[in-house]
Structure 1
């Protein structure tokens, strides 16, 4: 169940109310006339079955409500309502499977913002990954994978292509490139300090590392895992259930590869650098491709659900 809140000019209110009242996905509807001060107008609130949110938002956008007022959607974690239950039963689709594109796009823009928090987490994760490589520690490698924030920007690549938001595509690419360049740069400086103090040697970088050798040796399994992880990650983002995100972070080796690139640069070891660059590219490409394909499939499936909903809505309108 979603809570829908609309601020709209008074001239639009009656049309919006009629549209919402005739939609089978709406279980509750309230209007406060004259309640909105900026912009001046009315406040409309509704309880909407998650499965029907896309069609409602699209109709509101066609009326340009978002340009003259605002449209807000919020998840309702706990609700008790017979009418709400009946609305979910009437509305085609499953609540957990429903993709609310407005929420997905909003999250994609937030995850691609190149800010201090993103750069800090990515840098810290890359530094931890480099320490994991030096100590050949699987535990630290997993910790670096979980700490890295880059998956949101990778998933945004697919969202941008599917929803044709090319500004989002540019932002996602900028965030990924700038983020990894900054993280690798800081890690290189710290590794140089460690080398100067004698804490890191060439043998630590190119010597036998049975637990972390996969970081710079990409193969077909690297791509397969990235594809599976990318699909699972996008499903976690678009679904009402997001239990699989931690597993996605642990599955891919983007951050560890970045840490290994930094160590390779410090010791000017070409095989380490290019092996890690290949691993990083394979993982990002695999996740981006899988994310895009998953979103395309979801969009096509939900377009069919929208058609079914349209057929359901035609009947009550004719009966009026």
Structure 2
């Protein structure tokens, strides 16, 4: 269930109410006349079943509410309402499967913003990955992979391709490239400093590293894991079930590969550089393509759900225990 709070100019209020009253998925509709100061007008609140939210939000956007006022969409974790239960039962598909495109789009833009926080996390993650390579420590590799924030813009690339948003694609690609360059530059400088002070030797970089050799030796399994992990990550994002994201971060070797490129360059170990660049490119490509394919499949499947759902409802009663 989602809660809508709409600040709307008074001259649009009746049109907004007509849209909400005409949607079977909407319950708990209320209007507070004159309650909005900016913009001057009214405040309308309503509850809407998550799986029926997209057409309602698009209809409100069609009225221009978002240009002159505001539409706030918030998840409702706990609720008790027989009308709301009936609205969810009648809505197409299942709530857990519903993709609210406005929610996904907003998150994609937010996660793709190039700011000091994103850049700092990328630098710190890459530095930790560099230390993991020197120490041949798989635990530190995992830590660096979890710390890295790169999945946000990678997922945004898929959203941009599916929704045909060129601006979002450019923002996400810029953030991804500049973030990796910042992390790699910092690790390169740290590698040169370690070489000068004698803390890191050439043998530490090119010697036998059984626990971290996968960082610079890409193969078909690297691509397959990247595809599966990205698909799982996109599902976590679109369903608002972020618990699976940690597993996604741990599964794909992006930040450690970038760190190995920097250390290899610092010590002129070019075979390390080429192998790690191949690993990085393979993983990023696999994740971007898988993210796009997952979102495209979700959109295609969801577009066919409403008619099928209505047919099923006609044949059998709604399964589930309504609130007393």
The equivalent residue for 1:143 is 143
How many positions carry a matched residue from both structures?
312
Tell me how far 1:308 sits from its aligned partner: 6.3
- Taking the aligned partners of 2:31 and 2:233, their CA distance within structure 1 comes to 38
- Taking the aligned partners of 1:42 and 1:307, their CA distance within structure 2 comes to 35
Q: Give per-residue Cα distances to partners, 1:234-265, cap 9 Å, x unaligned.
A: 00000132221010000000000011011001
Aligned residues: CA RMSD:
1.5
Q: Give per-residue Cα distances to partners, 1:56-86, cap 9 Å, x unaligned.
A: 0111111111111111101112222222111
Tell me how far 1:307 sits from its aligned partner: 5.6
What's the TM-score, normalizing by structure 1? 0.95
- Taking the aligned partners of 2:267 and 2:310, their CA distance within structure 1 comes to 63
Tell me how far 1:309 sits from its aligned partner: 8.2
The equivalent residue for 1:236 is 236
Q: What pairs with 1:1-320 in structure 2 (closer than 5 Å)?
A: 1-305=1-305
Q: Is the 1:39–1:69 contact (alpha carbons within 8 Å) kept by the matching residues of 2?
A: yes
Tell me how far 1:16 sits from its aligned partner: 1.4
- Taking the aligned partners of 1:307 and 1:124, their CA distance within structure 2 comes to 50
Q: Is the 2:93–2:309 contact (alpha carbons within 8 Å) kept by the matching residues of 1?
A: no
- Taking the aligned partners of 2:241 and 2:250, their CA distance within structure 1 comes to 18
Helix, strand or coil at the partner of 1:79: coil
The equivalent residue for 2:318 is none
- Taking the aligned partners of 2:87 and 2:286, their CA distance within structure 1 comes to 39
Q: Give per-residue Cα distances to partners, 1:147-170, cap 9 Å, x unaligned.
A: 000000000000001011110000
Tell me how far 1:22 sits from its aligned partner: 2.2
Q: Give per-residue Cα distances to partners, 1:196-249, cap 9 Å, x unaligned.
A: 111101111111111100000110000000000110000000013222101000
Q: Give per-residue Cα distances to partners, 1:99-155, cap 9 Å, x unaligned.
A: 000000000000000000001111100000011111111100000000000000000
What's the TM-score, normalizing by structure 2? 0.94
Where does the alignment leave 5 or more consecutive residues of structure 2 unmatched?
Answer: 312-324
For the structure 1 residues 310 and 168, does the alpha-carbon distance in structure 2 shift closer, same or farther, using more than 3 Å as the test?
farther
For the structure 1 residues 9 and 50, does the alpha-carbon distance in structure 2 shift closer, same or farther, using more than 3 Å as the test?
same
Helix, strand or coil at the partner of 1:99: coil
Q: Displaced runs of 4+ in structure 1, greater than 4 A?
A: 306-311
Q: Is the 1:98–1:240 contact (alpha carbons within 8 Å) kept by the matching residues of 2?
A: no
- Taking the aligned partners of 1:65 and 1:305, their CA distance within structure 2 comes to 28
Q: Is the 2:128–2:144 contact (alpha carbons within 8 Å) kept by the matching residues of 1?
A: yes
- Taking the aligned partners of 1:63 and 1:307, their CA distance within structure 2 comes to 26
Helix, strand or coil at the partner of 2:293: helix
Tell me how far 1:92 sits from its aligned partner: 1.1
Where does the alignment leave 5 or more consecutive residues of structure 1 unmatched?
Answer: 312-320
- Taking the aligned partners of 1:301 and 1:67, their CA distance within structure 2 comes to 31
- Taking the aligned partners of 1:156 and 1:111, their CA distance within structure 2 comes to 8
